[in-house]
Structure 1
Amino acid sequence: MIAVLTGDLVESTRLSSTHYTQTINALTTVLNHLQEQTGCTYELFRGDGFQVVFPDPKHAIHALFTIRLYLNSQMSEVAVNCTQALAYGEGTLLESSPGTSNGEAFVLSGRTLDNTRGGEFRVILAPGQSGTKGQQTALDIMCSQLSYVLNRLSKKQADLLYQYLSQNFPTHQVLADNNNTSRQNISERLKSAGGDLLAPFIDYINALKG
Protein backbone atom coordinates (compact mmCIF):
# COMPACT_ATOMS: atom_id res chain seq x y z
CA MET A 1 0.00 0.00 0.00
CA ILE A 2 1.01 3.59 -0.71
CA ALA A 3 -0.61 6.94 0.00
CA VAL A 4 -1.15 9.60 -2.65
CA LEU A 5 -1.98 13.21 -1.77
CA THR A 6 -3.22 15.45 -4.58
CA GLY A 7 -3.86 19.13 -4.03
CA ASP A 8 -4.72 22.46 -5.64
CA LEU A 9 -4.11 25.98 -4.36
CA VAL A 10 -7.36 27.86 -3.78
CA GLU A 11 -7.94 30.96 -5.94
CA SER A 12 -4.31 31.12 -7.03
CA THR A 13 -5.28 33.15 -10.11
CA ARG A 14 -6.31 36.01 -7.81
CA LEU A 15 -2.84 36.27 -6.30
CA SER A 16 -0.51 38.98 -7.51
CA SER A 17 2.55 37.74 -9.36
CA THR A 18 4.65 38.49 -6.28
CA HIS A 19 2.35 36.58 -3.94
CA TYR A 20 2.00 33.72 -6.41
CA THR A 21 5.78 33.34 -6.59
CA GLN A 22 5.98 33.53 -2.81
CA THR A 23 3.32 30.83 -2.50
CA ILE A 24 4.99 28.45 -4.95
CA ASN A 25 8.31 28.96 -3.18
CA ALA A 26 6.64 28.21 0.16
CA LEU A 27 4.96 25.10 -1.24
CA THR A 28 8.28 23.89 -2.63
CA THR A 29 9.97 24.56 0.71
CA VAL A 30 7.49 22.54 2.74
CA LEU A 31 7.45 19.70 0.19
CA ASN A 32 11.25 19.52 0.19
CA HIS A 33 11.17 19.36 3.98
CA LEU A 34 8.63 16.53 3.89
CA GLN A 35 10.72 14.70 1.31
CA GLU A 36 13.73 14.85 3.62
CA GLN A 37 11.67 13.68 6.59
CA THR A 38 9.60 10.93 5.02
CA GLY A 39 11.19 9.86 1.73
CA CYS A 40 8.11 10.96 -0.20
CA THR A 41 8.20 12.01 -3.86
CA TYR A 42 6.37 15.06 -5.12
CA GLU A 43 5.58 16.91 -8.33
CA LEU A 44 4.12 20.35 -9.03
CA PHE A 45 1.83 20.69 -12.04
CA ARG A 46 -0.82 22.85 -13.74
CA GLY A 47 0.61 25.99 -12.18
CA ASP A 48 -1.25 25.53 -8.88
CA GLY A 49 -1.45 21.77 -8.35
CA PHE A 50 0.75 19.23 -6.62
CA GLN A 51 0.90 15.51 -5.96
CA VAL A 52 2.86 13.71 -3.26
CA VAL A 53 3.47 9.96 -3.03
CA PHE A 54 4.29 8.35 0.32
CA PRO A 55 5.89 4.89 0.12
CA ASP A 56 5.29 4.68 3.89
CA PRO A 57 1.60 5.64 4.26
CA LYS A 58 1.86 6.42 7.98
CA HIS A 59 3.42 9.81 7.14
CA ALA A 60 0.67 10.95 4.77
CA ILE A 61 -2.06 12.34 7.03
CA HIS A 62 0.45 14.29 9.16
CA ALA A 63 1.91 15.72 5.93
CA LEU A 64 -1.54 16.77 4.71
CA PHE A 65 -1.98 19.02 7.73
CA THR A 66 1.64 20.19 7.57
CA ILE A 67 1.22 21.49 4.01
CA ARG A 68 -2.11 23.08 4.80
CA LEU A 69 -1.02 24.89 7.95
CA TYR A 70 2.31 25.96 6.47
CA LEU A 71 0.56 27.72 3.59
CA ASN A 72 -1.98 29.19 6.02
CA SER A 73 0.59 30.72 8.33
CA GLN A 74 4.25 30.73 7.35
CA MET A 75 4.35 33.33 4.56
CA SER A 76 4.94 36.91 5.64
CA GLU A 77 2.40 38.73 3.46
CA VAL A 78 -0.23 36.21 2.45
CA ALA A 79 -2.11 33.13 3.67
CA VAL A 80 -3.18 30.60 1.06
CA ASN A 81 -5.53 27.64 1.37
CA CYS A 82 -5.53 24.43 -0.60
CA THR A 83 -7.92 21.64 -1.55
CA GLN A 84 -6.55 18.19 -0.79
CA ALA A 85 -7.45 14.56 -1.48
CA LEU A 86 -5.50 11.81 0.27
CA ALA A 87 -6.02 8.24 -0.93
CA TYR A 88 -4.64 4.95 0.38
CA GLY A 89 -4.35 1.94 -1.90
CA GLU A 90 -2.19 0.08 -4.36
CA GLY A 91 -0.02 1.96 -6.85
CA THR A 92 3.34 2.07 -8.59
CA LEU A 93 5.55 5.14 -8.75
CA LEU A 94 7.12 5.33 -12.22
CA GLU A 95 10.58 6.92 -12.54
CA SER A 96 10.01 9.13 -9.48
CA SER A 97 7.23 10.94 -11.36
CA PRO A 98 3.82 10.99 -9.65
CA GLY A 99 2.23 12.65 -12.69
CA THR A 100 2.95 9.67 -14.94
CA SER A 101 2.37 6.94 -12.36
CA ASN A 102 -0.70 4.77 -12.04
CA GLY A 103 -2.63 2.52 -9.75
CA GLU A 104 -5.61 2.53 -7.44
CA ALA A 105 -4.32 5.20 -5.05
CA PHE A 106 -3.48 7.63 -7.86
CA VAL A 107 -6.89 7.23 -9.47
CA LEU A 108 -8.78 7.61 -6.18
CA SER A 109 -6.79 10.68 -5.16
CA GLY A 110 -7.22 12.48 -8.48
CA ARG A 111 -10.93 11.73 -8.84
CA THR A 112 -11.63 12.67 -5.25
CA LEU A 113 -9.88 16.02 -5.64
CA ASP A 114 -12.09 16.80 -8.64
CA ASN A 115 -15.16 16.29 -6.44
CA THR A 116 -13.94 18.09 -3.31
CA ARG A 117 -15.08 21.59 -2.43
CA GLY A 118 -12.46 24.29 -2.60
CA GLY A 119 -10.45 24.56 0.60
CA GLU A 120 -11.64 21.25 2.04
CA PHE A 121 -9.78 17.96 2.37
CA ARG A 122 -10.89 14.37 2.07
CA VAL A 123 -9.33 11.05 3.00
CA ILE A 124 -10.24 8.01 0.92
CA LEU A 125 -9.53 4.39 1.77
CA ALA A 126 -9.46 1.81 -1.00
CA PRO A 127 -12.52 -0.48 -0.91
CA GLY A 128 -10.46 -3.40 0.35
CA GLN A 129 -9.16 -1.30 3.23
CA SER A 130 -12.19 0.71 4.26
CA GLY A 131 -14.30 -2.32 5.13
CA THR A 132 -17.74 -0.82 4.71
CA LYS A 133 -19.38 2.00 2.83
CA GLY A 134 -20.67 3.34 6.13
CA GLN A 135 -17.14 3.67 7.45
CA GLN A 136 -16.14 5.85 4.50
CA THR A 137 -19.29 7.93 4.96
CA ALA A 138 -18.37 8.57 8.59
CA LEU A 139 -14.84 9.51 7.55
CA ASP A 140 -16.22 11.97 4.96
CA ILE A 141 -18.26 13.67 7.68
CA MET A 142 -15.23 13.98 9.97
CA CYS A 143 -13.14 15.47 7.16
CA SER A 144 -15.88 17.95 6.36
CA GLN A 145 -16.18 19.05 9.97
CA LEU A 146 -12.43 19.38 10.50
CA SER A 147 -12.13 21.30 7.21
CA TYR A 148 -14.79 23.69 8.52
CA VAL A 149 -12.76 24.31 11.68
CA LEU A 150 -9.42 24.78 9.91
CA ASN A 151 -10.84 27.05 7.23
CA ARG A 152 -11.92 29.55 9.87
CA LEU A 153 -8.56 29.95 11.59
CA SER A 154 -6.83 33.29 11.77
CA LYS A 155 -3.21 33.39 10.62
CA LYS A 156 -2.07 33.47 14.27
CA GLN A 157 -4.19 30.43 15.11
CA ALA A 158 -2.85 28.57 12.08
CA ASP A 159 0.69 29.44 13.12
CA LEU A 160 0.15 28.02 16.61
CA LEU A 161 -1.33 24.81 15.15
CA TYR A 162 1.61 24.56 12.75
CA GLN A 163 4.03 24.81 15.68
CA TYR A 164 2.05 22.17 17.56
CA LEU A 165 2.01 19.82 14.58
CA SER A 166 5.59 20.34 13.39
CA GLN A 167 6.94 19.75 16.90
CA ASN A 168 4.95 16.49 17.09
CA PHE A 169 2.44 17.71 19.67
CA PRO A 170 4.65 18.92 22.53
CA THR A 171 3.26 19.80 25.93
CA HIS A 172 1.40 23.08 26.20
CA GLN A 173 4.14 24.30 28.53
CA VAL A 174 6.78 23.80 25.81
CA LEU A 175 4.69 25.88 23.39
CA ALA A 176 4.16 28.50 26.09
CA ASP A 177 7.90 28.78 26.68
CA ASN A 178 8.54 29.06 22.94
CA ASN A 179 5.94 31.82 22.60
CA ASN A 180 6.75 33.70 25.83
CA THR A 181 3.29 33.25 27.27
CA SER A 182 1.48 31.15 29.85
CA ARG A 183 0.50 27.51 29.57
CA GLN A 184 -3.13 28.46 30.22
CA ASN A 185 -3.06 30.93 27.33
CA ILE A 186 -1.66 28.30 24.97
CA SER A 187 -4.21 25.73 26.13
CA GLU A 188 -7.09 28.12 25.52
CA ARG A 189 -5.77 29.17 22.12
CA LEU A 190 -5.21 25.58 20.99
CA LYS A 191 -8.67 24.53 22.08
CA SER A 192 -10.34 27.43 20.27
CA ALA A 193 -8.34 26.56 17.12
CA GLY A 194 -9.31 22.88 17.21
CA GLY A 195 -5.83 21.76 18.20
CA ASP A 196 -7.18 18.96 20.36
CA LEU A 197 -8.64 17.33 17.22
CA LEU A 198 -5.47 16.89 15.18
CA ALA A 199 -3.57 14.17 17.05
CA PRO A 200 -6.63 11.92 17.58
CA PHE A 201 -7.62 12.31 13.92
CA ILE A 202 -4.10 11.43 12.72
CA ASP A 203 -4.02 8.38 15.01
CA TYR A 204 -7.49 7.36 13.84
CA ILE A 205 -6.55 7.52 10.16
CA ASN A 206 -3.34 5.58 10.66
CA ALA A 207 -5.22 2.90 12.58
CA LEU A 208 -8.09 2.78 10.10
CA LYS A 209 -5.98 2.29 6.98
CA GLY A 210 -4.47 -0.88 8.44
Structure 2
Amino acid sequence: MIAVITGDIVNSENYNSSDWMPILKNYLESLGTSPLDWEVYRGDEFQVKLPVDKALKVAIHLKAQIKKVKNLDVRMAIGIGLETYAGSSVSESNGTAYKRSGRMFNTLKASKLNLEIATGHKHHDKILNLILKLGLDFMNDWSVVSAEIVTIVLNNPNVSQKEIAKQLGIKQSAVSQRYKRARLDLVLNMLDFYQELSKEIKE
Protein backbone atom coordinates (compact mmCIF):
# COMPACT_ATOMS: atom_id res chain seq x y z
CA MET A 1 0.00 0.00 0.00
CA ILE A 2 1.21 3.46 -0.92
CA ALA A 3 -0.19 6.98 -1.07
CA VAL A 4 0.02 9.22 -4.13
CA ILE A 5 -0.60 12.96 -3.99
CA THR A 6 -1.51 14.69 -7.26
CA GLY A 7 -1.66 18.46 -7.02
CA ASP A 8 -1.26 21.89 -8.55
CA ILE A 9 -0.60 25.43 -7.39
CA VAL A 10 -3.73 27.57 -7.07
CA ASN A 11 -3.37 31.11 -8.47
CA SER A 12 0.09 30.36 -9.93
CA GLU A 13 -0.75 32.25 -13.13
CA ASN A 14 -0.53 35.53 -11.18
CA TYR A 15 3.02 34.81 -9.99
CA ASN A 16 6.44 34.10 -11.44
CA SER A 17 7.46 30.45 -11.06
CA SER A 18 10.49 31.69 -9.11
CA ASP A 19 8.10 32.85 -6.34
CA TRP A 20 6.96 29.33 -5.51
CA MET A 21 8.84 26.68 -7.52
CA PRO A 22 11.94 26.63 -5.23
CA ILE A 23 9.65 26.20 -2.17
CA LEU A 24 7.79 23.32 -3.84
CA LYS A 25 10.92 21.57 -5.10
CA ASN A 26 12.87 22.01 -1.86
CA TYR A 27 10.06 20.39 0.08
CA LEU A 28 9.56 17.55 -2.41
CA GLU A 29 13.32 16.89 -2.38
CA SER A 30 13.08 16.26 1.36
CA LEU A 31 10.64 13.40 0.59
CA GLY A 32 12.66 11.47 -1.97
CA THR A 33 14.33 11.57 -5.37
CA SER A 34 12.93 12.81 -8.65
CA PRO A 35 11.50 11.39 -10.90
CA LEU A 36 11.11 8.08 -9.01
CA ASP A 37 9.38 9.53 -5.93
CA TRP A 38 8.09 12.87 -7.24
CA GLU A 39 7.77 14.99 -10.35
CA VAL A 40 6.74 18.53 -11.29
CA TYR A 41 5.19 18.76 -14.76
CA ARG A 42 2.96 20.90 -16.99
CA GLY A 43 4.21 24.05 -15.30
CA ASP A 44 2.53 23.91 -11.91
CA GLU A 45 1.33 20.31 -11.44
CA PHE A 46 3.11 17.70 -9.36
CA GLN A 47 2.84 14.13 -8.18
CA VAL A 48 4.52 12.46 -5.21
CA LYS A 49 4.55 8.86 -3.97
CA LEU A 50 4.96 8.23 -0.23
CA PRO A 51 4.06 5.91 2.66
CA VAL A 52 0.37 5.89 3.62
CA ASP A 53 0.96 7.05 7.20
CA LYS A 54 2.78 10.21 6.04
CA ALA A 55 0.33 11.30 3.33
CA LEU A 56 -1.88 13.75 5.20
CA LYS A 57 0.99 15.34 7.11
CA VAL A 58 2.86 15.90 3.85
CA ALA A 59 -0.24 17.41 2.20
CA ILE A 60 -0.86 19.83 5.08
CA HIS A 61 2.84 20.66 5.33
CA LEU A 62 2.93 21.38 1.61
CA LYS A 63 -0.14 23.60 1.91
CA ALA A 64 1.53 25.58 4.70
CA GLN A 65 4.79 25.89 2.71
CA ILE A 66 2.99 27.31 -0.35
CA LYS A 67 0.75 29.60 1.73
CA LYS A 68 3.88 31.32 3.02
CA VAL A 69 3.58 33.16 -0.33
CA LYS A 70 0.65 35.58 0.00
CA ASN A 71 -2.49 34.58 -1.96
CA LEU A 72 -1.07 31.26 -3.15
CA ASP A 73 -2.52 27.87 -2.24
CA VAL A 74 -2.28 24.28 -3.40
CA ARG A 75 -4.95 21.83 -4.57
CA MET A 76 -4.27 18.15 -3.80
CA ALA A 77 -5.88 14.73 -4.11
CA ILE A 78 -4.50 11.89 -1.98
CA GLY A 79 -5.02 8.40 -3.41
CA ILE A 80 -4.31 5.34 -1.27
CA GLY A 81 -3.96 1.87 -2.75
CA LEU A 82 -1.55 -0.41 -4.55
CA GLU A 83 1.31 0.24 -6.93
CA THR A 84 1.05 -2.53 -9.54
CA TYR A 85 3.63 -1.08 -11.94
CA ALA A 86 6.70 0.94 -10.96
CA GLY A 87 7.88 2.91 -13.99
CA SER A 88 11.05 4.95 -14.38
CA SER A 89 9.12 7.94 -13.02
CA VAL A 90 6.09 8.58 -10.81
CA SER A 91 3.99 9.66 -13.80
CA GLU A 92 4.73 6.36 -15.58
CA SER A 93 3.82 4.19 -12.57
CA ASN A 94 0.40 2.65 -12.11
CA GLY A 95 -1.95 1.03 -9.62
CA THR A 96 -5.07 1.86 -7.61
CA ALA A 97 -3.27 4.57 -5.60
CA TYR A 98 -2.40 6.47 -8.81
CA LYS A 99 -5.86 6.02 -10.33
CA ARG A 100 -7.67 7.17 -7.19
CA SER A 101 -5.41 10.21 -6.83
CA GLY A 102 -5.70 11.18 -10.52
CA ARG A 103 -9.48 10.74 -10.72
CA MET A 104 -10.10 12.67 -7.53
CA PHE A 105 -7.75 15.45 -8.61
CA ASN A 106 -9.80 15.88 -11.80
CA THR A 107 -12.94 16.55 -9.73
CA LEU A 108 -11.43 18.97 -7.19
CA LYS A 109 -11.87 22.17 -9.19
CA ALA A 110 -15.55 21.45 -9.87
CA SER A 111 -16.19 20.59 -6.22
CA LYS A 112 -14.40 23.80 -5.13
CA LEU A 113 -12.28 21.86 -2.64
CA ASN A 114 -8.51 21.81 -2.50
CA LEU A 115 -7.82 18.70 -0.46
CA GLU A 116 -9.57 15.33 -0.63
CA ILE A 117 -8.65 11.71 -0.08
CA ALA A 118 -9.68 8.45 -1.77
CA THR A 119 -8.90 5.17 0.00
CA GLY A 120 -11.22 2.80 -1.86
CA HIS A 121 -13.31 2.45 1.33
CA LYS A 122 -16.52 4.51 1.29
CA HIS A 123 -16.81 4.65 5.08
CA HIS A 124 -13.21 5.81 5.62
CA ASP A 125 -13.48 8.31 2.76
CA LYS A 126 -16.67 9.80 4.21
CA ILE A 127 -15.09 10.32 7.65
CA LEU A 128 -11.74 11.61 6.37
CA ASN A 129 -13.22 13.97 3.79
CA LEU A 130 -15.67 15.42 6.31
CA ILE A 131 -12.77 16.09 8.70
CA LEU A 132 -10.74 17.63 5.85
CA LYS A 133 -13.67 19.82 4.81
CA LEU A 134 -13.95 21.13 8.37
CA GLY A 135 -10.18 21.59 8.57
CA LEU A 136 -10.04 23.47 5.27
CA ASP A 137 -12.51 25.93 6.72
CA PHE A 138 -9.62 27.45 8.68
CA MET A 139 -6.57 26.10 6.78
CA ASN A 140 -7.64 27.90 3.59
CA ASP A 141 -7.56 31.14 5.59
CA TRP A 142 -4.03 30.74 6.99
CA SER A 143 -2.13 34.00 6.73
CA VAL A 144 1.56 34.07 5.80
CA VAL A 145 2.54 34.11 9.52
CA SER A 146 0.11 31.28 10.35
CA ALA A 147 1.55 29.20 7.50
CA GLU A 148 5.04 29.94 8.78
CA ILE A 149 4.27 28.68 12.29
CA VAL A 150 2.60 25.54 10.91
CA THR A 151 5.68 24.68 8.82
CA ILE A 152 7.97 25.16 11.83
CA VAL A 153 5.86 22.86 14.05
CA LEU A 154 5.39 20.18 11.37
CA ASN A 155 9.14 20.22 10.72
CA ASN A 156 9.79 19.69 14.42
CA PRO A 157 6.71 18.66 16.46
CA ASN A 158 8.68 18.79 19.72
CA VAL A 159 9.82 22.41 19.31
CA SER A 160 8.77 24.63 22.22
CA GLN A 161 7.02 27.98 21.86
CA LYS A 162 10.04 29.55 23.54
CA GLU A 163 12.34 28.13 20.85
CA ILE A 164 10.00 29.32 18.08
CA ALA A 165 9.92 32.82 19.61
CA LYS A 166 13.73 32.89 19.59
CA GLN A 167 13.85 31.59 16.00
CA LEU A 168 11.39 34.21 14.74
CA GLY A 169 12.64 37.03 16.94
CA ILE A 170 9.22 37.63 18.51
CA LYS A 171 7.72 37.32 22.01
CA GLN A 172 6.47 33.98 23.28
CA SER A 173 2.99 35.52 23.71
CA ALA A 174 2.99 36.32 19.98
CA VAL A 175 3.87 32.69 19.20
CA SER A 176 0.97 31.57 21.39
CA GLN A 177 -1.39 33.88 19.47
CA ARG A 178 -0.18 32.51 16.13
CA TYR A 179 -0.67 28.95 17.38
CA LYS A 180 -4.30 29.77 18.20
CA ARG A 181 -4.96 31.60 14.92
CA ALA A 182 -3.51 28.71 12.89
CA ARG A 183 -5.64 26.26 14.96
CA LEU A 184 -2.52 24.13 15.35
CA ASP A 185 -4.07 22.02 18.09
CA LEU A 186 -6.79 20.90 15.66
CA VAL A 187 -4.26 20.26 12.89
CA LEU A 188 -2.25 17.98 15.17
CA ASN A 189 -5.43 16.21 16.37
CA MET A 190 -6.46 15.67 12.76
CA LEU A 191 -3.06 14.16 11.94
CA ASP A 192 -3.22 11.86 14.98
CA PHE A 193 -6.67 10.65 13.91
CA TYR A 194 -5.48 10.02 10.35
CA GLN A 195 -2.48 8.05 11.67
CA GLU A 196 -4.79 5.76 13.61
CA LEU A 197 -7.29 5.33 10.79
CA SER A 198 -4.59 4.74 8.16
CA LYS A 199 -3.64 1.50 9.96
CA GLU A 200 -7.10 0.12 9.09
CA ILE A 201 -6.90 0.92 5.38
CA LYS A 202 -6.38 -2.19 3.29
CA GLU A 203 -6.85 -2.75 -0.44
Taking structure 1 as the reference length, the TM-score comes to: 0.83
- The CA deviation string for residues 172-206 of structure 1, in whole angstroms up to 9 with x for no partner, is 23323323344333222211211112222112112
Partner of 1:24: 21
Where do 1:114-133 residues align within 5 Å? 114-117=106-109, 120-127=114-121, 133=122
Are 1:82 and 1:119, in contact at CA under 8 Å, matched by a contact in 2? no
Alignment map for 1:46-125 (pairs within 5 Å): 46-54=42-50, 56-73=51-68, 78=70, 80-92=72-84, 94-117=86-109, 120-125=114-119
Secondary structure at 1:30 match in 2: helix
Shift in Å, 1:169: 4.5
Match of 2:163 in 1: 174
Distance 1:90 1:189, change over 3 A: same
The residue aligned with 1:156 is 145
The 8 Å contact of residues 10 and 119 in structure 1, kept in 2 or not, is answered as no
Give 1:119 shift.
6.1
Aligned equivalents of 1:57 and 1:156: distance in 2?
29
Taking a change above 3 Å as real, the CA distance of residues 161 and 126 of structure 1, as seen in their structure-2 partners, is same
* Structure 1, gaps ≥5 residues long: 128-132
Question: Structure 1 segments of 4 or more deviating over 6 A?
Answer: none
Shift of 1:14: 2.6
For the residues of structure 2 that align with 1:83 and 1:162, how far apart are their CA atoms?
17
1:186 matched to 2:179: no
Q: CA deviation at 1:61?
A: 1.8
Deviation readout 1:36-70 (Å, 9 max, x if unpaired): 7xxx800112211000001x322222211221111
Confirm or deny: 8 A CA contact 2:81 2:97 kept in the other structure. yes
Aligned-residue CA RMSD (Å): 2.1
Aligned residues: 195
8 Å Cα contact 2:61-2:150 kept in structure 1: no
Q: TM-score, normalised by structure 2?
A: 0.86
| Structure 2: runs of 5+ lacking an equivalent | none
Equivalent residues in 2 for 1:27-42, closer than 5 Å: 27-35=24-32, 41-42=37-38
